[in-house]
């Protein structure tokens, strides 16, 4: 056992001391924190006023354009040519022209700008004009627009998740989708990254003939497991450092720049001790308060509904389980060939289940409780990715336990097969290995 520990220590230290490990350990949490922080920072930096001049030849819509947080409307009594001159003098960012024939020919509407038009401003103008044009048409048809306005009912259903203990929490499916896909993708990348390191390490030792010296002191199985576990510990160490640093970076930004993470939950909008609000007043208050919510604040609020202890523990387990399963197969491939070019014929059948899992993750996200998602999260070759996609949506502990147990069984089985191939192939030189040859090694080892 001490020999295996020595190999693990050697594999771990040789990789941890590499410059690439240090660089990725620092860049990883910065990139993950940037996913949450950068959108808020960019939104704040780009939150400058966008001033639109309005030239309305019909004189019907001047009072229909209300300013928003960063989009301002200025009615002009001049003609369109003079208004465009004002824009060239940098008095306005854009000029909206509503010609006299606009009602009969809406395609005559124009929004002039020297630079690319602000997309949000364009959508706002289109929405306002669409509403006003519809109102005019209703009036011409003799239909009271106030009646239709009262009938209009915007629907925004709040999702509530009932936990096993009966607790009710606000659910954010969009955040669960994003977190699930990112988690599954990271598992996929980590397995490939560190599994390929095992393959290259075994192949380098074999081609350099160093392995002949090593196996004179340790058993081939001890050498294989020492390499697999050592590289796996490198990945686990890097991941744990990423978690700590990412949490520290995001928490620091929350303390230093609280406005970046501003968010008001729905249950806090209508809380008042001085008055009873009508339904109309409640909706207006909600709109006024939540218009200042930031993207980062919404993301953080959504993440707060996720069971992170289960999420982190599951990620560590499925990373280790998936890595150990595939690393054993990669080690067997490395021992069976003499050069890296020969690995391709054996890599394809091994990596197909892993590639399938990341492809099927798209469908699993749309229906995380469906039969396809359930079975893929139970099969050991696909469960590391698929189960991590499903967990943010809420998976019973029984399903997680069954999936984890099957993954452990799968790891033991593949390790036994890999050990038989490794034991024979590690000292085999100068012979082209085939699938028939591998089967002989498995049967007679």
* Most trustworthy range by pLDDT among 76-80, 217-221, 257-261: 76-80
Match 């594999």 to its residue by tokens: 11
pLDDT at 405: 92
What is the sign of the dihedral through the CA atoms of 190, 196, 199 and 200?
negative
Q: What average pLDDT does this structure show over 235-250? A: 78
Tally of CB atoms within 10 A around 125: 22
For residues 304-332, average pLDDT: 82
Residue 83 contacts residue 111 (beta carbons within 8 Å) = no
CA 165 to chain CA mean position, Å: 28
What is the model's pLDDT at position 345?
73
Averaged pLDDT, 396-414: 89
Q: Is 373 exposed, middle or buried (CB count within 10 Å of its CB: 0-12, 13-18, 19+)?
A: buried
pLDDT at residue 403, as a whole number:
92
Please list the residues that pair with 72 across neighbouring strands.
51
pLDDT, one tens digit per residue, over 292-316 is 555 555 666 656 666 677 788 888 8
| Residue bearing the bigger pLDDT, 351 or 141 | 351
Taking residues 391-417, report their average pLDDT. 87
pLDDT grade, residue 32 (50/70/90)? low
Q: How much is the pTM? A: 0.63
Q: What percent of the chain has pLDDT over 90?
A: 3
Mean pLDDT of 100-119: 81
Would the pLDDT of 226 be above 50?
A: yes
Cα–Cα dist 419/205, whole Å: 17
pLDDT given for residue 156 in this prediction: 60
Task: State the average pLDDT for the chain.
Answer: 75
Q: Please say whether the dihedral angle defined by the alpha carbons of residues 293, 298, 299 and 300, taken in this order, is positive or negative.
A: positive
Environment class of 177 (CB within 10 Å of its CB; exposed 0-12, middle 13-18, buried 19+): middle
Residue 135 has pLDDT above 70, yes or no: yes
Structure tokens at 108: 């005559």
Confidence of residue 65 (pLDDT cuts 50, 70, 90): confident
Crossing angle, helix 220-256 and helix 19-45, to 10 degrees?
30
Is the pLDDT score of 402 beyond 90?
yes
Once rounded to an integer, what is the mean pLDDT over residues 122-129?
86
CA distance 242 to 26: 8
HSE of 5, CA atoms in CB hemisphere, 13 A: 2
Q: Where are the alpha helices (DSSP H) in 141-219?
A: 145-151, 173-207, 210-214
User: What pLDDT does 406 receive?
Assistant: 93
Q: What angle do CA 235, 187, 247 make, to 5 degrees?
A: 70
pLDDT > 70 fraction of the chain, expressed in percent and rounded: 69
Position 118 scores a pLDDT of 78
* Superfamily of domain covering 50-150: Periplasmic binding protein-like II (3.40.190.10)
Contact criterion met (CB below 8 Å) for 223 and 229? no
pLDDT of amino acid 310: 79
| 346/185 Cα distance (integer angstroms) | 23
Q: Tell me: pLDDT of 357 over 50.
A: yes
CA angle 298, 301, 307 (to 5 degrees): 140
- Residue 273 has a pLDDT of 44
pLDDT, tens digit, 9 for 90 and up, residues 155-202: 565 666 666 666 655 666 677 777 788 888 888 888 888 888 888 877
Report the pLDDT averaged over residues 84-109.
85
Q: Residue 228 in 3-state DSSP?
A: helix
By C-alpha distance, which of 335, 339, 377, 337 is closest to 360?
Answer: 377
Q: How confident is the model at residue 50 (pLDDT cuts 50, 70, 90)?
A: confident
For residue 272, the model assigns a pLDDT of 47
The confidence score (pLDDT) of residue 41 equals 58
Q: Are strands 50-56 and 94-98 parallel, antiparallel or unpaired?
A: parallel
Cβ–Cβ < 8 Å for 307, 270: no
Domain extent listing, the chain:
2-39+164-444, 50-150
Using an 8 Å Cβ cutoff, are 295 and 259 in contact?
Answer: no
Task: Give the list of residues 6+ apart from residue 71 with CB closer than 8 angstroms, or none.
Answer: 49, 50, 52, 118, 120, 121, 124
Strand partners, 76: 55
Q: Using alpha carbons only, give the angle 368, 190, 374 rounded to the nearest 5 degrees.
A: 20
């Amino acid at each position: 056992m001490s020999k295996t520990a020595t190999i693990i220590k050697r594999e771990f230290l040789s990789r941890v001391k590499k410059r690439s490990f240090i660089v990725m350990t620092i860049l990883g949490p910065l990139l993950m924190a940037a996913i949450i922080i950068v959108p808020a920072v960019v939104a704040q930096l780009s939150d400058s006023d966008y001033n639109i001049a309005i030239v309305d030849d019909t004189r019907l819509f001047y009072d229909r354009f209300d300013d928003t947080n960063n989009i301002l409307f200025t009615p002009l009594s001049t003609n369109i040519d003079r208004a465009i001159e004002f824009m060239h003098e940098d008095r306005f960012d854009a000029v909206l022209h509503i010609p006299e024939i606009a009602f009969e020919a809406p395609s005559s509407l124009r929004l002039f700008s020297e630079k690319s038009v602000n997309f949000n401003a364009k959508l706002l103008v289109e929405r306002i004009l669409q509403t006003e044009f519809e109102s005019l048409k209703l009036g011409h048809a003799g239909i009271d627009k106030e009646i239709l306005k009262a009938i209009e009912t915007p629907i925004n259903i709040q999702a509530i998740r009932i936990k096993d203990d009966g607790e009710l929490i606000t659910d954010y499916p969009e955040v669960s989708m994003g977190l699930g896909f990112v988690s599954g993708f990271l598992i996929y990348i980590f397995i490939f990254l560190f599994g390929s390191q095992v393959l290259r390490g075994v192949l380098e030792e074999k081609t350099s003939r160093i392995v002949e010296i090593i196996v004179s002191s340790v058993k081939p199985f001890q050498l294989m497991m020492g390499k697999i576990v050592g590289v796996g510990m490198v990945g686990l160490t890097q991941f744990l450092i990423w978690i700590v640093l990412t949490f520290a970076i995001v928490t620091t930004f929350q303390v230093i720049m609280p406005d970046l993470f501003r968010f008001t939950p729905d249950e806090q909008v209508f809380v008042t001790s001085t008055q009873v609000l009508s339904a109309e007043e409640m909706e207006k208050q909600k709109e006024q308060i939540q218009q200042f919510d930031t993207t980062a604040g919404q993301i953080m609020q959504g993440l707060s509904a996720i069971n992170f202890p289960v999420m982190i523990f599951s990620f560590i387990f499925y990373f280790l389980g998936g890595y150990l399963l595939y690393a054993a197969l990669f080690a067997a491939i490395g021992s069976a060939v003499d050069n890296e070019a020969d690995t391709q014929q054996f890599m394809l059948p091994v990596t197909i289940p892993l590639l399938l899992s990341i492809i099927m993750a798209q469908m699993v996200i749309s229906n995380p409780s469906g039969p396809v998602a359930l079975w893929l999260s139970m099969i050991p070759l696909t469960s590391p990715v698929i189960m991590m996609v499903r967990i943010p949506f809420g998976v019973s502990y029984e399903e997680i336990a069954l999936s984890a147990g099957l993954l452990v069984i799968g790891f033991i089985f593949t390790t036994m097969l890999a050990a038989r191939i490794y034991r024979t192939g590690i000292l085999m030189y100068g012979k082209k290995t085939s699938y028939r040859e591998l089967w002989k090694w498995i049967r007679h080892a």
